[in-house]
Chain A
Amino acid sequence: MKIKGPILFLIGMAGALALGWYAFPRALYKKIEQPLQFSHKVHTGKDAGMACADCHSLGEDGRFSGIPKLDKCSTCHSAQMGTTENEKVLVEQYVTPNREIPWLSYLRQPENTYFPHAVHVKLAELKCEQCHGQHGASEKLRPLEVNRVSGYSRDIWGQSISRFRKQEGDGMKMDDCISCHAKSGREDGCIDCHK
């Protein structure tokens, strides 16, 4: 049969496409659950009415606090306020024994990169959502997806494995920094980020 060859070729091609687009991304990343569930929505919603900067603040010297320390949580949660299981775990396993929560960071930059929040938030006046999307309104914390080869978080590459039609704030590779800086007319040198 003359068409057998092309069919097999197409089958191989289709298999590879399926493998590359579907199976590969799933196999590449391992998922690690956060130590505790946390709802940004509850905290930033109408009831609590908190702003991002209430927990993720910039210090007087411009240093970004990053993920808040336990004392920030225990200011309100020294005792259980509600009825949820997650709050109970927070109080019993972390606040009461004064044990820091080993949060996993989604956007930890590589060692050779210097990223100042102060410059982007204060000088460039970027909104948190421009880089972090709707994370501040999320109901639960998604698992951290760690690349099995590089060890980087998936958020650095971005959720789209192809990096095509990428949403704003999806991905934090050097290309993303350069592209955003180019849009805002910034001229940069290597040493601006790689000190």
Chain B
Amino acid sequence: MAKIIERRDLMKLAGGAAVGIVFTPAPWKFLDDSSIWTQNWPWIPKPLRGELITRFSVCAMCPAGCALRAQCIGKQPISLFGVPGHPLSQGTLCPLGFTGHHLAYHPSRATEPLRIEHSNDSINVIPISRDLAVAEIAQAIQSKGADECIAVIDSRPGRTVSLLYRQFLAGLAKGVYLCEPTGTCATFDTLQALSEKPIGPLGLDLENTRTLLSFGAPILDGWGTPGRIQSLRRNQSQPDAGKRLQVIQIETRQSRTALFADQWLPIKPGTEAALALGLANVIVREKLFDEAAIRRNAVDFDRSDSRSYLDLVGQFQPERVTEVTGISQDKIVSVAREAARHGPSIALGGGDPAGGPLGEAEEIAIAGLNLLLGNLGKSGGIVGRSEVPVAAEMRSAAAVSPSELAKIPDHSIRVLLMDAAESGNALPWTLIEKKLVSERAVVASLSPYLAGNARQAHFLIPAPAHLESLQEIPTPDGAVRSSFSLSAPLLAPPEGATDPIDFIRSLATAVGVPLAGGSAMDLLKGRASAIYENGRGEIFVFAENKISDIKEAGSAERFWDMLKAGGCWIDAKHEMESAPRFSLLGEPSQGFEKLSASAQGRLQASLPKEYPLVLMPFGWRFAVGNGQVSPVMSKLYQESGLRDMANQAFINPKTGSALGLVDGGQAVVATRQGSMPVKIQFDSGVMPGVFHVAVGPAPNKNEMAKKIDENILEICQAGNDLAWRVTPAQVRKV
């Protein structure tokens, strides 16, 4: 008898079933569900569930002072938003600010004091007690040599802790308070240095500016407060030409600001001083300035010794400037006329956040252009603002004045303390290292992260991370009116974190230096009290979305409570007393010669044969400093490519091809300082003979890895003024 069901029949049945199942939703739905299942494995962290509570604070990641509305579940912030109506940030937050609540959990976060041991290119970290770290640092301070100094680097001056550092240093035999050599305030600092008498803090009245000459400043990409810059972009598209803001970007690289600007002038690397003096030449020659005012206020505009400002700008005829800068004569003349006629105009320096400062000569030439344009203290120009009041006991205590890193002799710092706050700009370790005494130097970092320059320190005394402690937010860079707010903590700091104010107090006690005031909270409260008692200005209350006169707070205690709840104090407008007398050349003895020498540009003569290219680093503000970015920033860096990853090198296709490089390939950049691997990307927007290398984070990289990170800034060459933005280099294919 034949079998009823044979194996072949089963195969046919199974074949039919296999075909049939494809025409049902089962496999496709199962595939979808399986993929969701893999996203919900129990070990994958998930946001808490529960009732949402809204809390207000201020972002303290950079000096911009943007207001935050935090949605929290219990005490845990789960998402951050901007606050509409806020006078500084105007409802805006940058991508870094949006993810600020992730930083307390960053992989490179340090939660206890560490001793850091260095060997070759790796580090070894050993947990130690805070008391032991303080004792060892104190011992190093007490054993310093006669020529050695104790220094503090403060990336965000103007805070109460800044004043405390200065008082601490005043109590030591040779204390030096250092601010970063770069930043958005370079133009203001230069103007202050050129003034005969102190003119107080300065800001840019950009809302009333008509022409903005930006010498490489990232004015439309991370400069100042993001909300303010957004409104500037709106001013750029004003239909009324008389009110429209015109941005002219002078920069070698076609940066984002260059792309958004009304005009981009691609300038040869390091030749900004020559251009600024060339523009001044046209303005002076065509008498497009208030000559009487300049003659009255400038001490060196016109002198009989042939070393005056007039003599200097006379050397910078447009045809000569064209040779140096690569910008056509017609363009130089038209831009100079535009700046002078379509005012108020501002010339802004500062440079790229990673590319570093423009340099001393460049900034003096830019400041001179501002003074020639007559914008100091005028609406739409560079205006004065008031000082934020300080508690009487802090004001009266002795404090050292700020110094520049470039002015400190090499190998002279015995003990260096690096503050926790970030300016958002890069500061290459090589610049700091050359100032340290060899071998015996002790460096302590107060950064919450074992990353960046903190990895080079000997001690890490971690401060609370972003949103973990009460932080004061002084006036943002470039603001027209002074302001003060508090970043209220949303998270509890780990036990091993130490507030920098408490640390400096412990250290002062250990070395016998008396300091004014009490705890961090007392000092901040004291400053808030001083602001209230001053009686000027208004306070914006986030939760109520209204601005009221400071007197309506009723008491200093109530004012403090309003600040802690996310309030923001804004001072009244401040008028500069009178036009100060100033120098246009800087130092009386060498100013003329220094500026005259800048005619050839920063690289002076032709490039050496072995280094025929120009290396220029660049980056996005805050993402290039020592601060960390959230791992979800990988969406901007890796997935979308909106920002450039560290060590991505952009080169003109013709230059690249001539060097045998391949788009997307690997190469090695070499300078006199060393070599570094980079990834090549061809970009026809790059000037021939130049390559721009990105400085930035690798968001998903674990910074606790032992190997010290490679950073292109380590092989950049710094001049005497510590500007490192142009370096002769060579590139070779790997």
Contact = CB atoms under 8 A, between A and B. Distances in A.
A19 B13 contact: no
B25 A162 contact: yes
Contact of B19 (A13, A114, A150, A162): A13
Given A5-B12, A8-B16, A111-B47, A20 B36 contact: no
A9 B13 contact: yes
Contacts of A15: 16-17, 20
A112 B34 CA distance: 17
A127 B189 CA distance: 58
Contacts of A151: 36-37, 40
Nearest to A21: B24
B76 to A, nearest CB: 14
Contacts of A12: 12-20
B13 A8 contact: yes
Contact of B25 (A6, A10, A14, A24): A24
Given A24-B24, A150-B37, A4 B9 contact: yes
A110 B52 CA distance: 17
Contacts of A38: none
Interface string B331-359: 00000000000000000000000000000
B95 to A, nearest CB: 9
A17 B17 CA distance: 8
Given A8-B16, A149-B33, A151-B40, A16 B21 contact: yes
B23 A17 contact: yes
A165 interface: no
A63 B54 CA distance: 10
B259 to A, nearest CB: 19
Given A8-B13, A149-B30, A149-B37, A20 B54 contact: no
Contacts of A106: none
A6 B635 CA distance: 53
Contact of A16 (B20, B30, B54, B635): B20
Given A8-B9, A8-B13, A16 B33 contact: no
B234 interface: no
A57 interface: no
Given A150-B37, A152-B36, A5 B21 contact: no
Contact of B15 (A9, A24, A114): A9
Q: How would you classify the secondary structure of chain A's contact residues: helix, strand, loop or mixed?
A: helix
A147 B13 contact: no
Interface in A116-158: 147, 149-152, 157
A147 B35 CA distance: 13
Given A8-B16, A9-B13, A61-B54, A16 B36 contact: no
Interface residues of B, number: 33
Nearest to B639: A190
Contact of A9 (B16, B23, B635): B16
B13 A20 contact: no
B33 A20 contact: no
A11 interface: yes
Given A12-B17, A12-B20, A15-B20, A24 B26 contact: yes
B79 interface: yes
Contacts of A24: 24-26, 29
Contacts of A17: 20-21, 23-24
Given A8-B9, A161-B25, A150 B16 contact: no
B609 interface: no
Given A12-B14, A12-B15, A161-B25, A150 B20 contact: no
Interface in A1-40: 4-6, 8-17, 19-21, 24-25, 28
B197 interface: no
A195 interface: yes
Nearest to B14: A12
B686 to A, nearest CB: 28
B46 interface: yes
Contacts of A112: 39
B156 to A, nearest CB: 28
A122 to B, nearest CB: 15
Contact of A10 (B16, B46, B98): B16
Nearest to B52: A63
A164 to B, nearest CB: 9
A119 to B, nearest CB: 13
Nearest to A162: B25
Nearest to A164: B25
A111 B79 CA distance: 12
Nearest to B51: A69
Contacts of A21: 24-25
29 contacts: A5-B8, A5-B12, A8-B16, A9-B12, A12-B14, A12-B17, A12-B19, A15-B17, A16-B17, A16-B18, A16-B24, A17-B21, A17-B23, A20-B20, A20-B21, A20-B24, A20-B26, A24-B24, A24-B26, A111-B46, A111-B47, A149-B33, A150-B32, A150-B33, A151-B37, A152-B36, A161-B25, A162-B25, A191-B635
Given A12-B14, A20-B24, A147-B33, 7 more contacts: A5-B8, A5-B9, A12-B19, A12-B20, A19-B24, A149-B37, A150-B32
Interface of B: 8-9, 12-21, 23-27, 29-30, 32-34, 36-37, 39-40, 46-47, 52, 54, 79, 98, 635
The 8 A-B residue pairs whose C-beta atoms are closest, nearest first, are: A20-B24, A12-B16, A16-B20, A13-B20, A150-B36, A9-B16, A149-B33, A13-B16
